[in-house]
A and B are shown apart, each in its own frame.
Chain A
Amino acid sequence: MADTALPLEAGAKVNRPSLLKRIILHNLPAKIAALPMMVTVLVVFVGCTLWTIYYSFTNSKLLPTGKFVGIEQYERLFATSRWNVSVTNLITYGVLSLIFTLVVGFILAVLIDQKIRFESAFRTIMLYPFALSFIVTGLVWQWIINPTLGLQGTMRNLGWENFTFDWIANPRMVLYALLIAGLWQGTGFCMVLMLAGLRGVDEEIWKAARIDGIPTWRTYVSIVVPMMRGVMVTAVVIIGSGIVRLYDLVVALTNGGPGISSEVPAKYVYNYMFSGGNIGQGLAAATMMLLSVIIILIPWAYLEFGGKGRRT
């Protein structure tokens, strides 16, 4: 950067052209080339976000033309049982999914890191679901846990008359069905991240720990995991922002059912905007999703960029 920008700016100090000229003309081709990015940032990432937040305070129904009604949409939102169920579901699913993804991903990475044979075969098997879409994931698991002809039916036909695996039809268990499918798709990716983190730990650390007679599990818990802080934080942020977006998987696996027992916020937003004809309500729900992501992101941004210049 400095190489191209500095000489020009130094010259500008001597022979100061007008501010406007400097802003526009300096590195002009680069600015033209970066125009799509600037438009995207300003129009989509800033503009659309502000638009959504603003119109979430209006009573827009079929068209976003309503008048300002303050927090009325939010009051209605939190008085709607479907929204509250969605939020509770997302929190339950999110916490369990985050914990299991991290734990399973870490354990698999540790096992694979034990200088085993067929390492790449195991890795390939564990990561391939990640290449598949949530729709495919959801539909396969929908078939596997189909109560009459799937796993339950098979086991009953084989003689286990009382075998029960009806999670998809059971409002109390349906979230765990989502969890099984979600973990199937995503744990391999977490494993890859963790493995990269493990491989980044200096071999010397292991030698030192061995000489000191520290048991292996203790070395992992007290030395290696703290050293993998960066990877852990990245994994949490990526898994977390994926969880908030949870939508396709629910549409494919349960479509929110039975009843409303597996609804999630992203689906609530979609339904109110595009089939419920209540845009204000959908926008308020979307703004709440935005808020939840900001709550996740701020601690991360603080950790990551707080000590300025440490990492880019």
Chain B
Amino acid sequence: MSQISTMAGVTPAPTGAAVEPRGPRPKPFFTPRKIIIYSILVMFSLYYLFPLYVMFTTSLKTMPEIRFGNIFSLPTAPSFDAWVKAWTSACTGLTCEGLAPGFWNSVKITIPSTIISIFIAAVNGYALINWRFKGSEIFFAILIFGSFIPYQVFLYPLVMITREMGIFGSLQAVIIVHTVFGMPILTLLFRNYFASLPQELFKAARVDGAGFWRIFFEIMLPMSLPIFVVALILQVTGIWNDFLFGVVFAGTQNYPMTVQLNNIVNSAQGTPEYNVNMAATVLTGLVPLAVYFVSGKWFVRGVAAGAVKG
């Protein structure tokens, strides 16, 4: 299509046999090849979108409507009652306070974990590139290798360590664990980013007598906004979506939203209320979805940066 418009722009439509058409031959839009490509893509898109559709429509239905048994149908009289119930009064096993406490726990876990882990990783990356010392590369290599080890290997010793520190079953414990396990990927991100910055800046500041922290705060940080955004997206979605660390380290009263959600759906007694379950699921998914849709191509960059350079 774009080819046609540029052609029209170049030659203001003098139709005649004398004028040779320029540029590539405009292709018809509906070639068989195109039709196959688009139909496959659309089929896959339906597979990806169907759960989202089901989640939303089910959460807006009433239980009688759900029992009628058509998962495809739109709600006849959409109502947010299930959402209200999921948020305020759904039962999570022991208590019936809905997801709201879990939401706030997740907020209390995600914000400090994100800030602390990103700060530590930024300093690590900076030290690894600009202030190497004997053994720094070995530490880094172990860190990266460690990121592939299943978390189950560390769980019990970490329970013991946090218990010794007297913080097992508290928000601090989860925050520390998130900081520890966010470190490999974030350090890698920052290390690669700082390596790509011109070293002359660092050298000039050194010659001028600036020290470790001064260079970090006044030169490196202002230049690393893009990588901070990437790290932020990575950490907020990652920590919000965590289940294992929350369930092991947070303690019952601090369970994050994912754990509460799973309790609402999987350990509830009595007849399951599917509309409430789906409303709770949507609510838990909203934060990462919002991050995803707001951040757009930054999200892609984040996941790709985390992966491709590894």
Q: Which chain A residues lie closer than 8 Å to B296 at the CB level? A: 124
Q: What number of A residues sit within 8 Å (CB to CB) of B?
A: 106
Stretch at the interface among B11-19, B87-95, B140-148: B140-148
B40 touches A111 (CB 8 A): yes
B160 touches A64 (CB 8 A): yes
Cβ-defined partner of B150 (8 Å) among A43, A123, A148, A266: A266
1/0 per position for B196-216, CB-CB distance to A under 8 A?
A: 000100010010000111000
Residue of B nearest to A292 (CB): B150
Is A209 at the interface (CB under 8 A from chain B)? no
Bound form: Cα–Cα A196–B48 in Å? 21
A140 touches B142 (CB 8 A): no
Residue of B nearest to A63 (CB): B160
Cβ-defined partner of A4 (8 Å) among B131, B150, B307: B131
B274 touches A143 (CB 8 A): yes
Is B70 at the interface (CB under 8 A from chain A)? yes
B154 touches A44 (CB 8 A): yes
A149 touches B265 (CB 8 A): no
Is B134 at the interface (CB under 8 A from chain A)? yes
Stretch at the interface among A24-32, A74-82, A95-103, A218-226: A24-32
Cβ-defined partner of A248 (8 Å) among B44, B244, B292: B244
Q: List 9 A-B contacts (CB under 8 A).
A: A30-B132, A33-B127, A124-B293, A134-B241, A193-B307, A247-B243, A270-B155, A283-B156, A286-B150
A52 and B156 in contact, given A37-B143, A154-B71 (Cβ under 8 angstroms): yes
Q: Which chain A residues lie closer than 8 Å to B44 at the CB level? A: 104, 108, 126
Listed from nearest, the 10 A-B pairs whose CB atoms lie closest are A133-B241, A30-B131, A45-B146, A29-B212, A48-B157, A131-B292, A1-B132, A269-B152, A30-B127, A248-B243
Interchain Cβ contacts within 8 Å, total number: 283
Cβ-defined partner of B187 (8 Å) among A37, A122, A247: A37
Stretch at the interface among B166-174, B222-230, B297-305: B297-305
Distance in Å from the Cβ of A295 to the closest Cβ of chain B?
12
Distance in Å from the Cβ of A89 to the closest Cβ of chain B?
16
Is B107 at the interface (CB under 8 A from chain A)? no
A132 and B241 in contact, given A116-B38, A234-B308 (Cβ under 8 angstroms): yes
Q: Which chain B residues lie closer than 8 Å to A154 at the CB level? A: 69-72
A34 and B136 in contact, given A4-B206, A132-B289 (Cβ under 8 angstroms): yes
Bound form: Cα–Cα A146–B273 in Å? 13
A245 touches B150 (CB 8 A): yes
Is B55 at the interface (CB under 8 A from chain A)? yes
Cβ-defined partner of A112 (8 Å) among B41, B136, B148, B157: B41
Q: Which residues of A contact B (CB under 8 A)?
A: 1, 3-5, 23, 26-27, 29-31, 33-34, 36-38, 40-41, 43-49, 51-52, 55, 64, 104, 107-108, 111-112, 114, 116-117, 120, 122-137, 139-144, 146, 148-151, 153-154, 156-158, 184, 188-189, 192-193, 196, 231, 234-235, 237-238, 241, 244-245, 247-248, 251-252, 255, 265-266, 269-270, 273-274, 279, 282-283, 285-287, 289-290, 293, 296-297, 301
A30 touches B133 (CB 8 A): yes
A241 and B288 in contact, given A37-B183, A127-B299, A255-B266 (Cβ under 8 angstroms): no
Bound form: Cα–Cα A266–B244 in Å? 10
Q: Which chain B residues lie closer than 8 Å to A43 at the CB level? A: 161
Bound form: Cα–Cα A142–B272 in Å? 13
B299 touches A125 (CB 8 A): no
Distance in Å from the Cβ of B116 to the closest Cβ of chain A?
9
A134 touches B243 (CB 8 A): yes
A192 and B131 in contact, given A135-B258, A237-B310 (Cβ under 8 angstroms): no
Q: Which chain B residues lie closer than 8 Å to A47 at the CB level? A: 157
Q: Which chain A residues lie closer than 8 Å to B187 at the CB level? A: 37
Bound form: Cα–Cα A128–B204 in Å? 44
Q: Which chain A residues lie closer than 8 Å to B139 at the CB level? A: 34, 37-38, 41
A139 and B155 in contact, given A3-B199, A37-B120 (Cβ under 8 angstroms): no
Q: Which chain A residues lie closer than 8 Å to B161 at the CB level? A: 43, 48
B67 touches A149 (CB 8 A): yes
A29 touches B45 (CB 8 A): no
Q: Which chain B residues lie closer than 8 Å to A140 at the CB level? A: 51, 54-55, 278, 281
Q: Which chain B residues lie closer than 8 Å to A136 at the CB level? A: 241, 258, 261, 281, 284-285
Bound form: Cα–Cα A273–B156 in Å? 7
A29 and B277 in contact, given A37-B143, A154-B71 (Cβ under 8 angstroms): no
Bound form: Cα–Cα A41–B132 in Å? 16
Bound form: Cα–Cα A127–B297 in Å? 11
Distance in Å from the Cβ of A185 to the closest Cβ of chain B?
10
Q: Which chain A residues lie closer than 8 Å to B126 at the CB level? A: 33
1/0 per position for B66-82, CB-CB distance to A under 8 A?
A: 11111110000000000
A247 and B156 in contact, given A4-B131, A157-B70 (Cβ under 8 angstroms): no
B41 touches A122 (CB 8 A): yes
Distance in Å from the Cβ of A245 to the closest Cβ of chain B?
5
